[in-house]
Amino acid sequence: MKENRLLKNKLYLYMTEFFAGVSVMAVELGASRLLAPYFSSSQIVWTIIIGTIMIAMALGNIWGGRTADRNPDPGKLYARLIIAAVWIGCIPLVGKYVIIGISGLLVLAVNTNYLIAAAFASCMVIFVFPLFLLGTVTPSLVKYTMGSMEDSGRTVGRLEAFNTVGSIIGTFLPTFVTIPTVGTSVTFLIFSGVLLILGIVYFIAEGTRMWLCAGSAAALIVCSVLGHSDSFAFWETNLLYEGESIYNYLQVGENERSVYLSTNVLFGVQSVAMKDGGLTGMYYDTALAAPLMCADPEEPDILVLGMGSGTFSTLCGKYYPGSDVSGVEIDEDITRLAHEYFGLPDTVRVTTYDGRAYLAADKGKYDVIMVDAYQDITIPFQMSSVEFFTLVRDHLEPGGVMVVNLNMANGGDGSINAYLCDTISSVFRNVMTSDVRGTTNRVLFASEEPIGFTVPTETGDFAYEERMMSVMSSLEPHYDGGLRFTDDRAPVELLGIRMIDSLISDELAYYKNIFAEKGLGGLIGEITG
């Protein structure tokens, strides 16, 4: 076999290993951002992604080594790189439709663990094949670069070094540069292009398979033109904004009465603000009772951990005009959207930081601390432990109140809510809860002092007064059941996904009944109509 002049000094083979390492990690991180809007960014989803990709890579390693031994032709490897590149380039164009299609099919087939099954199936269909092909790179290059057994250690070590350095760059580059700058879709296209160039340059130097080069380049161009959009909720028509930050997929929509923020596709609304500036009908209204429970309801100092769109802060400013409100939000893009679309006042000070880390460094004390960092099943474990709530308690003024939005339905003993309530009860002497009407949310109030209530009167806002009286009448004391989250052990993802799965199962039962009664046509009509 005539040797390709590009490979005479083996540098191109080492560069192939380097860029393969870059691309594998970039695709893995891109996978997390592609799946997160539909299935959350929890540790469970990450586990599915990593496990699936490692299985694909391992199988690719085995097959790649065998094929290289049977036919040590570098052209075979570079053809696989081109195929992998085109496949990855197609992900922005068809990936979201594949996820929705798989999720729809599983509605009829899965009774439990729906999210896990849908995430796993989506990952298998979309990512296994190209990562399998990329898994063939290292064993193939070992075969092509090794001159003799005398230099085998040095050769393999050099290849692994190039792969490792590439993987490091492939970890940082998408996270800090491409995804926040140009989005997930373009990130896939960029690294697809890198792999494609590797293959095309090889075949141009060899002077063969020009048809493969031309066809693959044309396919990537088509994918780039048609698939560069970062829209995940492609069926939505009333969006004011859709984009990505370092931490989240972000979606701002509106209807006749409100503006809302969502950080995912499948789990609905995370934040809402009414266009008339009034009460929302959500947990914010219940949480507004917290200043009435503290020692200084007229001029409370309020800290919000998990500022989000600033709805709670804005309402505090309206109903407690003497209040001093500040907040902590880890995602500065959400803060930007809060000012742009949700009317967050400039008087509200927002620090871009992790909530717990902020408390650890903060020397201030507050009358009210609102903990609103819990989102679908992605509850940060470090903000659910005994140690965290102890830190919150230490930052409260005498008679101060912590208010927590528990955004999961009460699942009884052993549920995530039971764990959170018991954990808080181990730190605070007095804990009371109130269910939010018409939602799965529960709001918890905790204080070292007995929780009193200053009844609002003559505010001029009957809806607010009525809501506060309703909260007062619905408060229930919580009695510690002995369950604990600690920094060492806080299985919040497992408990959260169990609760979400229960909620989804209840919802899916409705559609399964329609399918059983009216067939597929009736089901489609129900969903689309």
- CA torsion sign for 154, 160, 164, 167 is positive
125 close to 117: Cβ distance less than 8 angstroms: no
CB 282 within 8 A of CB 439: yes
Calculate the alpha carbon distances from 233 to 45, 78, 96, 249, 270 in Å: 19, 35, 9, 10, 15
Confirm if 207 and 5 have CB atoms less than 8 A apart: no
φ, ψ of residue 113 to 5 degrees: the values are: 50, 45
CA–CA distances in Å: residue 211 to residues 51, 208, 220, 334: 36, 8, 14, 47
Q: Strand pairing partners for 274?
A: 258
The SS3 assignment for 65 reads helix
Ramachandran class of 383: left when φ > 0, alpha when ψ lies in -120 to 50, beta otherwise: alpha
Residue 257 CB neighbours (<10 A): 12
Specify the residue for token string 């694909």: 56
Burial class from Cβ neighbours inside 10 Å (0-12, 13-18, 19+) for residue 235 reads: exposed
As a whole number of angstroms, the distance between CA 519 and CA 514 comes to: 7
Residue-wise DSSP of 186-211:
HHHHHHHHHHHHHHHHHHHHHT--HH
Asked about 422 being catalytic, the answer comes back as: no
Q: And the tokens for 194? A: 């890198």
12 contact partners, CB below 8 Å, separation of at least 6? 6, 201, 202
**What would the two tokens of residue 236 be?**
């939505």
**Half-sphere exposure (Cβ direction) of 130: Cα atoms closer than 13 Å:** 28
Euclidean distance between CA atoms 204 and 12, whole angstroms? 13
Q: What tokens does 245 get?
A: 């930050």
The torsion angles phi and psi of 230, rounded to 5 degrees, stand at: -100, 20
Neighbours of 18 (CB within 10 A): 21
Which residue do the tokens 């902020």 mark? 358
Tokens coding 274 = 């009414």
* Per annotation, catalytic residue among 372, 376, 422, 501: 372
Catalytic positions are: 372
